[in-house]
Structure formats: structure tokens, C-alpha cells
Amino acid sequence: MITVEHLTKEYGKRKAVDDIGFTIPDGEIVGFLGPNGAGKTTTMNIITGYISATSGSVVIDGLDILENPEEVKRKIGYLPEQPPLYGDMTVDEYLGFVAELRGIPKKERSGARDEAMELVAVADVRTRLIKNLSKGYRQRIGLAQALIAKPRILILDEPTVGLDPKQIAEIRDLISKIGKERTVILSSHILPEVSAVCHRVMIIDRGRIIADGKPEMISSGLEGRNRVSVRVACAKSAEAKTLLEGIAGIETVTDSGSIEDGSFDFVVEAKPEADVRKDIFFALSKASLPLLGMRVVDLTLEEVFLRLTTREGEEA
């Protein structure tokens, strides 16, 4: 559906986007992560046709964005970080105006407007001025304008910025619902939001893509099987901790406290190449300390993000 090849954008001597490439198939929700100034918004603006690239290509549904700009733009709905709203219009007036701009035939505009409002749940404020609505409602109206022409691709740049936790959860649920029928690219700084919504994550730093895949696969590739959560039945945590610290290959043991009566939880950090699970099992068994649970602990998306961007900075 979306194919980006050798995309580069230069501002003078600075490369905002540096020879990146990726493919996004139909029906995938992709999280686009990166620190401020990493090139996220520039890449999204090039994909939407808002700005041109210095070199490289963007092909959407078989059409090059430069050769077929109008046709490609009809396939895309875009919500920038600051929604393009007119505060002195009512919701009805604004979405009717957007429907006209998007080239929806006059006889179909009313139905398209009503359908978009219903989808994002703003029909109850349709007659109110946009400037008098809450931030959450304005964000929903921004989504409605991106959806009104029923695009196959939805590009969202920081869709939950400035919202409270309840509003974030509502927008997150809405994106999940929308993503069942469309391809979605979601840029966000809220990492738990990306983990909850996205099938795939791309991390960009200094204009280059440094990781691309499912969150759990990126974590596994970065960290390896070296962090294990262990629950041990014992009277004193110190006894089990000392035993675990004595196992070859284990570097650190952190006491996580007690969640279940008569047991203690530990997080074991081992050398990257060491799989210590069997050793843990046999050592605890030999000491007559029942092992109640053990699982490999993946890095959180936040940890992956910080480790990758820090490593890239050191290499640079």
C-alpha cells in the first residue's frame, strides 16, 4: 500500500530525513517513534504530499506522489499535530466545508459529514462553535475531517497531545476501531499508547530508521534472553536471593517484593548469551525452594526507545 524508497530531505547542509525506506501493507497500524527533531513529521509531510523530498520516492497504491499528487491525496486522511480547525464555525459548518474541499459530490456531503461525526462521536455538539469545545472534542473533530472522504490511509501526528488520561483512552480506542478498516501511521511520544494500538513500530533517530518490527521482536533482538522474572516460595527473601546470585551467568538479582503470601519475586539479569532458566530451576530444587513461576521479561517499548536512541547517539 505504501512504499518509501531512498527518501531524503535536506535543509541546507542538514539532513532531516536520511535515505530511509519501508513498506506498509494494507490494514496495518504502524507507530512512528523518535525524539524531537528525529524526522518523524518531515517524513509524514512528504508522504502526504505537503512537502517534497530532496530525493527518493513515495508510492501509494501503485501511484507516485509526485506524478499523481491529486489522486494520491484523495487516498489519504491527515491529522497534523495542530488540527486545522476554524473556531468561529460550528462543527456542522466546518465538516461541510471540509467535504467540499475534499471534492465530495454535493448530494453526498451531508451523509459523509453525518457519518464522520457518528464515527468519532461528536454529533451531540454539531451545532456548537468549535472554539467553545474542549480539547478532546476538537481532537475528535480533527479526526472527523481526516476521515470524511473515507480515505484508505490515515496519518496521525501526535493525535493525543495535550489530552487528559480519559481523553487519551477514548482517542486510543477510536484509533483501534478505525484501524480495522484502514492503514494507519501514528506518530506519538506516548509510548504505552503505541504499544497498545500499533501492530508494528518504526523508530527514527537523526533522520534514519534504527528499528522496525513488532514491539516484542525489537525488544528480543536488542536484549536477548537475559532477563527473567522468578517467583520463589520461601520464608525469607534473602535466602532465595543469595542462592540466585550464586548461579553462574547471573549478574544481578533484584528483589521485587511479595505479591503472593509465602513467596517472593525477583528479577534476574544474566549475561546476554546466557540462558539461566534451567540452572535456576535445578538450584532452587536442590535447595528445596519451590519455584512457583518463571518467565522471560521483555524490555518495555520505552526501554527499547531509550536504549536505541542512546546507542545511536554514542555511535554518531
Of 3.40.640.10, 3.40.50.300, 3.30.1330.100, 2.40.30.30, which CATH number belongs to 2-221? 3.40.50.300
> What top-level class would CATH report for the domain 225-301?
alpha beta
Q: What is the pLDDT of residues 2-28, one digit of tens each?
A: 999 999 999 998 999 999 999 999 889
Structure confidence at residue 132 as a pLDDT band (50, 70, 90) = very high
Q: How far apart are CA 172 and CA 159, in angstroms?
A: 9
User: Which value, to the nearest 10 degrees, does the dihedral of the CA atoms of residues 197, 203, 205, 207 take?
Assistant: -100
Q: What is the mean pLDDT of residues 283-305?
A: 83
Q: What is the pLDDT of residues 140-192, one digit of tens each?
A: 999 999 999 999 999 998 888 777 888 788 888 888 888 888 899 998 766 66
Structure confidence at residue 287 as a pLDDT band (50, 70, 90) = very high
Structure confidence at residue 283 as a pLDDT band (50, 70, 90) = very high
Location of each CATH 3.40.50.300 domain in the chain: 2-221
Q: What is the pLDDT of residues 102-116, one digit of tens each?
A: 999 999 999 999 999
Please give the full DSSP string across 187-249, using - where no structure is assigned: E-S-HHHHHHH-SEEEEEETTEEEEEE-HHHHHHHHH-S-EEEEEEE-S-HHHHHHHHHTSTT
Location of each CATH 3.30.70.1340 domain in the chain: 225-301
Of 106-110, 121-125, 187-191, 198-202, the poorest mean pLDDT is in 187-191
pLDDT at 306 over 90: no
Cα atoms found within 13 Å of the Cα of residue 165, Cβ hemisphere only: 1
Could you give the strand order of the β-sheet that contains 291-296, starting from the edge strand earlier in sequence? 250-257, 263-270, 227-233, 291-296
Rounded to the nearest 10 degrees, the angle between the axes of helix 91-101 and helix 135-147 is 30
